[in-house]
Amino acid sequence: MWALRATRLFDGERVIERPLLLVAGGAIIAVRERGIAPVGVPLTDLGHVTLLPGLVDAHVHLVLPGDPDPVGAVDVSADELISNARRAANACLDGGITTVRDLGDRDYVTVGVRAESARDPMAGPQLLVSGPPITTEGGHCWFLGGAVTGRSALIEAVRSRVARGVDVIKIMASGGEITPGSRSWQAQYTVDDLRMVVTEAHRSGLPVAAHAHAVSAIERALAAGVDTIEHATFRTRDGVRPDPGLIDRLAAAGTPVTVTTGFSPEGPPLDAAVRLRTAAALRAADDMRRAGVRIVLASDAGISDQKPHRLLPFGIIRLVEAGFPPVEALRAATATAASACGLPRKGRVVPGADADLLAVDGDPTRDIRAVLAVRAVYRGGQQVRYFDPEKWHDTRSRRSGY
């Protein structure tokens, strides 16, 4: 057993001053306000920092390196794919992201990276993986190898992923922006198609995450009973058009909606059309929050040079800029995200939770930009990153990112 002290703690729900955490076996066994470490228990005092739960990024693509041409980026050897995924996983830890749900790879390479991170917490976050996303022939992200035709093929696609040991089934309910010829405002599957995939996945105990930009795809995914709706930007041919009635139905159903509107401020500038769509999607996200929809924040990292890995903290800032109170924005990337991913031991700093922790300079519950000032990262009770505030140098590994 050992103890950890900081100036304050956001435990996933509330702020605690001068917390003392007791950790054993990779888990938190006690959280005390202004407590004193038991005699003989080693104490680490991180000083003037705020402790947070390790961040949970519920939607990334580790095999995509943040290249302007995602189709070409995966037309590489298996060795290069897995190297990309390893680098991306390592970068996530640099940003305090201790849990990642990968929602689309090629050739199931993230299954192997998941095993590597399980063996070595220094290598990357705990991973949940989907393998190649299920899509239509020539549909969104067909280049990842998950395109199938016909209902029997949809059932077989689910079963083959179950056999490969995935944690979640990903299906493209609508088109998307990064695939030539695909249209994000068009649905790709009927309600019956989606419901069949959900039934088969649930039979094996797996959740279904549905990529859905189009209003029609959001409606169909909700009706089919998917477990999370990814993006939900309310796209139509004419732009972003939030549907108040659909928002109310999402809230009533309790279906988590994953918002992925963050971009790197150091990446190439967004063109005017994308800026307008993104601003409208952020307003829709705040409308959903106000209506009671369960909002999960994720990055969609890897899909372009505007979405590098380790992006999630910038997404938290964007939510606050859109109207989210800082605590709610933090919760969207911690407790709510963990719950949506089916991980009750993640996303909170409470007895019984995994000791996945992020220490930052400042107080992000008051100044959200403090999430960028990473001081230390713990995964399963092990310090996997430490950035010296005097030298701002990573004493554990090469610092990457922004």
The tens digit of pLDDT for each residue in 257-269 reads 999 999 998 888 8
In the chain, what are the helix, strand and coil shares in percent, each to the nearest 5?
35, 25, 40
Give per-residue pLDDT as tens, 94-153: 999 999 999 999 999 999 999 999 999 999 999 999 999 999 999 999 999 999 999 999
How far is it, in rounded angstroms, from Cα 35 to Cα 21? 9
Q: Domain ranges for the chain, please list them.
A: 2-53+345-386, 55-337
CA distance 373 to 332: 19
Q: Which residues of 115-145 are buried (b: 16+ CB within 10 A; e: fewer)?
A: eebeeebebbbbbbbbbbbbbbeebbbbbbb
CATH architecture entry for 55-337: Alpha-Beta Barrel (3.20)
Q: Do domains 2-53+345-386 and 55-337 have the same CATH topology?
A: no
Instruction: Give 126's strand partners.
Output: 99
Concatenating the DSSP letter of every residue in 213-235 gives EEHHHHHHHHHHT-SEEEEEEEE
CATH code 2.30.40.10 for 2-53+345-386:
yes
pLDDT value, residue 35: 78
**E runs forming strands in 66-125:** 97-102
Token pair in block for residue 358 = 């992020």
Identity at 291, one-letter amino acid code: A
Neighbours of 266 (CB within 10 A): 10
Residuewise pLDDT in 10s, the chain (402 residues)? 999 999 999 999 999 999 999 999 999 999 999 878 899 999 999 999 999 999 999 999 999 999 999 999 999 999 999 999 999 999 999 999 999 999 999 999 999 999 999 999 999 999 999 999 999 999 999 999 999 999 999 999 999 999 999 999 999 999 999 999 999 999 999 999 999 999 999 999 999 999 999 999 999 999 999 999 999 999 999 999 999 999 999 999 999 999 999 999 888 888 898 899 999 999 999 999 999 999 999 999 999 999 999 999 999 999 999 999 999 999 999 999 999 999 999 999 999 999 999 999 999 999 999 999 999 999 999 999 998 766 544 433 333 332
- Dist CA 381 CA 143 (whole Å): 38
Interior/surface letters 334-360, b for 16+ CB within 10 angstroms, e for the rest: bbbbbbbbbbebbbbbeeebbbbbbbb
Contact (CB, 8 A) for 197 and 161: no
Helix (H) or strand (E) holding 94: helix 78-94
CA-wise closest residue to 329 among 253, 279, 227, 259: 259
**Interhelix angle 215-224/191-203, nearest 10 degrees:** 40
The pLDDT score that the predictor gives to residue 389 is: 67
| DSSP letters spanning 358-389 | EEEES-TTT-GGGGG-EEEEEETTEEEEEB-T
Helices and strands (H and E) in the chain: how many: 11, 19
* Residue corresponding to tokens 């991180």: 46
